[in-house]
């Protein structure tokens, strides 16, 4: 049985500045996307129909497979490229759901890459569908460090200088709605994103007000030895710290309170 596999790397926003509103009601942002060496996993075998089977630690936090972004990506690609056959998809859900690290977007993007290979179709179809599935999906399709403008889907590859960097992700196990966080933005434009290290995540104070545990995670990460940059990713609630060494990252990782989800990984 032929099986193809694609990683669905966890996404981080190294910085995220909200600059204003777009005509379609979404927000104009400036962000630096980076990706981790760990994440979810998609596998596929040829089949007559499209189907999705989900396993892994966060399977119970997802609704029915029919509404899964991975399956919706597959359906859209099949339709657009006029593919006759189907595919049996298998998702291993390792990343917490609605957590600011692009889980659903990464899964949709990995599905597009996987089916482009399986069906041997032009990659232009995947690129055209990606922005219709979510603002983060084009970045996840690349899964390479990039600057995002517009709704976050106007991309330019960049070198943030942190490839291979040890990173620790912590989520306090509270789901956060991206739509709700953006809706609470107060309209204050605090300025352009130049150097991401001096930047910020403008959604961080909003998510912290909604979920005070985000503040607790940020405070916890900030006092860890060797932590260089500590910030929230996306609309939260996952926060991350970049470390000056693998040893420092690992020492922090073993000390993470047991009730929080953690991932000790590297930037791609
Ligand atoms: C916060 C980020 O993750 C940062 O990368 C993204 O901007 C959000 O990307 P995403 O999860 O793919 O979000 P989508 O599924 O496209 O949008 C969810 C909701 O977030 C809001 N949204 C999203 C992107 C954007 N630039 N402005 C917005 O206001 C909209 O209310 C939208 O209905
Ligand atoms: N494959 C999937 N993985 C996770 N969530 C999914 C998936 N398919 C659909 N969803 C739905 O999408 C919503 C957002 O989940 P997701 O994990 O993509 O958010 P996120 O990590 O905050 O993403 P982002 O960082 O792009 O804002 C959830 O409420 C979930 O029910």
Q: Where are the domains of the chain?
A: 4-157, 166-266
User: Residue 249 and residue 168: Cα distance in Å, rounded?
Assistant: 6
Signed CA dihedral, 138, 40, 179, 267: sign only = negative
User: Has the ipTM of the complex gone over 0.90?
Assistant: yes
150 annotated as belonging to a binding site for a ligand:
no
> Does the pLDDT of residue 1 top 80, yes or no?
no
CATH fold of the domain at 166-266? Alpha-Beta Plaits (3.30.70)
* The architecture CATH gives domain 4-157: 2-Layer Sandwich (3.30)
For a ligand 2 pocket test, name from 32, 63, 104 the mutation site with the most ligand atoms within 8 angstroms of its C-beta.
Answer: 104
What are the two backbone dihedrals, phi and then psi, of residue 153, each rounded to the nearest 5 degrees? -110, 5
Q: Which band of pLDDT confidence, cut at 50, 70 and 90, is reported for residue 35?
A: very high
Structure-token pair, residue 182? 């953006």
Report cis status (omega within 30 of 0) of the bond before 237.
Answer: yes
User: Residue 96 and residue 128: Cα distance in Å, rounded?
Assistant: 27
Number of H helices, E strands in the chain: 8, 10
Q: Which band of pLDDT confidence, cut at 50, 70 and 90, is reported for residue 64?
A: confident
> Does the pLDDT of residue 8 top 80, yes or no?
yes
Note the pLDDT tens digit of each residue in 70-124: 999 999 999 999 999 999 999 999 999 999 999 999 999 999 999 999 999 999 9
Which ligand is in closest contact with the Cα of 33?
1
Note the pLDDT tens digit of each residue in 170-201: 999 999 999 999 999 999 999 999 999 999 99
> Does the pLDDT of residue 65 top 90, yes or no?
no
9 annotated as belonging to a binding site for a ligand:
no
């Amino acid at each position: 049985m032929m099986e193809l596999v694609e990683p669905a790397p966890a996404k981080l926003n190294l910085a995220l500045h909200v600059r204003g509103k777009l005509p379609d009601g979404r927000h104009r942002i400036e962000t630096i996307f980076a990706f981790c060496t760990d994440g979810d996993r998609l596998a596929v075998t040829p089949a007559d129909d499209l189907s999705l089977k989900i396993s892994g630690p966060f399977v119970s936090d997802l609704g029915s497979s029919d509404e899964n972004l991975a399956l919706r990506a597959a359906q859209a690609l099949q339709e657009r490229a006029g593919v006759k056959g189907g595919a049996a998809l298998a998702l291993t859900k390792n990343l917490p759901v609605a957590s600011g690290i692009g889980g659903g977007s990464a899964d949709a993007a990995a599905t597009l890459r996987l089916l482009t290979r399986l069906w041997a179709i032009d990659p232009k179809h995947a690129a055209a569908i990606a922005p219709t599935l979510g603002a983060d999906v084009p970045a996840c399709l690349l899964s390479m460090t990039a600057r995002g403008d517009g709704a976050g889907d106007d991309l330019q590859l960049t070198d943030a200088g942190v490839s291979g960097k040890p990173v620790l992700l912590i989520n306090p196990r509270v789901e956060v709605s991206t739509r709700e966080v953006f809706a609470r933005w107060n309209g204050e434009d605090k300025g352009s994103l130049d150097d991401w290290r001096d930047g910020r995540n403008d959604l961080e104070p909003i998510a912290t007000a909604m979920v005070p545990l985000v503040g607790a995670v940020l405070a916890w990460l900030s006092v860890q030895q060797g932590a260089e940059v500590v910030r929230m990713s996306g609309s939260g609630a996952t926060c991350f710290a970049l470390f000056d060494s693998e040893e420092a990252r690992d020492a922090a990782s073993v000390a993470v309170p047991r009730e929080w989800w953690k991932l000790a990984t590297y930037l791609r």
